[in-house]
């Protein structure tokens, strides 16, 4: 466990030996945390457009962005719907790259019957306040390689040879060494305790989200003008988000829909403003939105509906009716 999902992503890159000048491939359709960790190191962020159906990185287009400098691929499981991991792992193997998953939305999610967290070299989870399970602030990294895990543990606490427990467990064992430059990325004991209790209810919370997604599907499917999120048959989504989209021809009404729902006491959100739209990345990389047509279209037409375990069926129906009202008014 770590103090945040961002810390997990940062240490994953360091443990994968990503260095200044190396290239890291990810999606523009994510939160800045995914790419800022590469910036911390001075690695170059390379973007691959998303698929239109799941809004995840288009796995078939990763290979064309690989150069001799590429070190890692960072897929982001958008909204908790897992990326096409078999293909991504094949590409990575072929080019000897490390795969670091941003699974901030995935507590839990499954790909071909396997839990996200068990699919690649390193998987990074977030327990931030708005995530599927939360410790207030917190994160987690899972991996198979014990050396990778040991390196992450050491970097997590100042690069020390021993953490405090190991220093004080046995008598006369106070000596320690700073073996490398590390970070202050440990979780608090309090957030770790919260995490243990959240784990016990994680599946129950997930089942409620799945049920709410079904209700939305039933209540919204008759409304024309919108595209409902899909769940491909070989995955199980966490349903961290319920990302609705307006059909492309109606996308100019997206902001009005958000305002209309707000007038009816329905709080929504939008995921994501693509990385290339933000000033920092614009100034640094001069990416063109026209190079990422699918991400651009989704960002212009998306609206994230309320989804949280306590949401009632009556509320889902009220939301669906309000959306229906909006479309009959335009
Ligand atoms: C929340 C989030 C993160 C960062 O997690 P923190 O725990 O807030 O550091 C990273 N990536 C994505 C896609 C997220 O939504």
Q: What is the pLDDT of residues 79-135, one digit of tens each?
A: 999 999 999 999 999 999 999 999 999 999 999 999 999 999 999 999 999 999 999
pLDDT at 287 over 90: yes
- Split at pLDDT 50, 70, 90, the class of 51 is very high
pLDDT number for residue 174: 81
Question: What is residue 161's predicted lDDT score, i.e. its pLDDT?
Answer: 85
Between the alpha carbon of residue 79 and those of residues 19, 58, 231, 238, the distances in Å are 29, 15, 11, 7
Q: What's residue 167's pLDDT?
A: 65
Report how far ligand 1's centroid is from the alpha carbon of 9 (Å): 9
> Which tokens is 316 given?
């889902």
Q: Which residues line ligand 1 (CB under 6 A)?
A: 4-6, 30-31, 33-34, 76, 102, 104-105, 126, 128, 139
For ligand 1, the distance from its centroid to the CA atom of residue 126, given in whole angstroms, is: 6
**pLDDT top residue among 96 and 162:** 96
CB 261 within 8 A of CB 269: no
Instruction: Determine the atom of ligand 1 nearest the C-alpha atom of 137.
Output: 7
The number of the ligand 1 atom at minimal distance from the alpha carbon of 6 is 9
- For the cut 70, the answer to whether the pLDDT of residue 189 exceeds it is yes
- pLDDT for 168: 66
Averaged pLDDT score across all residues of the chain: 97
CB-count exposure of residue 279 (10 Å: 0-12, 13-18, 19+): exposed
* Predicted confidence (pLDDT) per residue in 232-262, tens digit: 999 999 999 999 999 999 999 999 999 999 9
CA of 4 to the centre of ligand 1 (A): 8
> Residue 173: which pLDDT band, with cuts at 50, 70 and 90?
confident
Position 14 scores a pLDDT of 98
pLDDT of 301 > 90? The answer is yes
How many residues in total does the chain contain?
A: 330
User: In angstroms, rounded to a whole number, what is the distance separating the alpha carbons of residues 308 and 323?
Assistant: 19
Gap between the Cα atoms of 263 and 37, Å rounded: 38
Banded pLDDT at 175 (limits 50, 70, 90): confident
Q: What is the reported pLDDT for 164? A: 62
| Active site members | 131
The pLDDT score that the predictor gives to residue 84 is: 98
Classify the phi-psi angles of 136: left when phi > 0, otherwise alpha if psi is within -120 to 50, otherwise beta. Answer: left
Tell which one of 8, 79, 104 to mutate to probe ligand 1, the residue whose CB is within 8 A of the most ligand atoms: 104
**Alpha carbons 116 and 236: distance in angstroms, whole number:** 10
């Amino acid at each position: 466990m770590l103090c945040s999902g961002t810390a997990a992503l940062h240490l994953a890159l360091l443990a994968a030996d990503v260095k200044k000048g190396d290239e890291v491939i990810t999606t523009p359709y994510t939160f800045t945390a995914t790419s800022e960790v590469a910036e911390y190191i001075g690695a170059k962020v390379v973007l691959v457009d998303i698929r239109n159906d799941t809004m995840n990185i288009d796995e078939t287009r990763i290979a064309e962005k690989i150069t001799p400098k590429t070190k890692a691929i960072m897929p982001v499981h958008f909204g908790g719907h897992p990326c096409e991991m078999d293909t991504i792992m094949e590409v990575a193997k072929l080019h000897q790259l490390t795969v670091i998953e941003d699974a901030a939305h995935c507590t839990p999610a499954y790909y071909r019957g396997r839990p996200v967290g068990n699919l690649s070299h390193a998987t990074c989870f977030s327990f931030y306040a708005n995530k599927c399970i939360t410790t207030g602030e917190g994160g987690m990294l899972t991996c198979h390689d014990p050396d990778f895990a040991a390196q992450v543990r050491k970097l997590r606490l100042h690069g020390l040879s021993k953490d405090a427990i190991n220093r004080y467990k046995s008598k006369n064992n106070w000596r320690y060494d700073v073996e490398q430059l590390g970070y202050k990325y440990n979780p608090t004991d309090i957030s770790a305790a919260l995490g243990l209790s959240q784990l016990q209810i994680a599946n129950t919370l997930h089942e409620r989200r799945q049920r709410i997604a079904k209700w939305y599907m039933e209540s919204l499917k008759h409304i024309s003008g919108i595209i409902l999120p899909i769940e491909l048959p070989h995955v199980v989504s966490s349903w961290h988000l319920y990302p609705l989209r307006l059909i492309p021809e109606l996308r100019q009404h997206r902001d009005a829909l958000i305002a209309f729902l707000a007038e009816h006491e329905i709080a929504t959100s939008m995921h994501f403003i693509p990385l290339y739209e933000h000033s920092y990345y614009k100034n640094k990389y001069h990416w063109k939105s026209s190079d990422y047509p699918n991400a651009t279209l989704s960002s212009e037409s998306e609206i994230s509906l309320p989804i949280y375990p306590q949401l009632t069926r009556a509320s889902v129906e009220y939301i669906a009716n309000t959306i229906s009202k909006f479309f009959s008014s335009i």
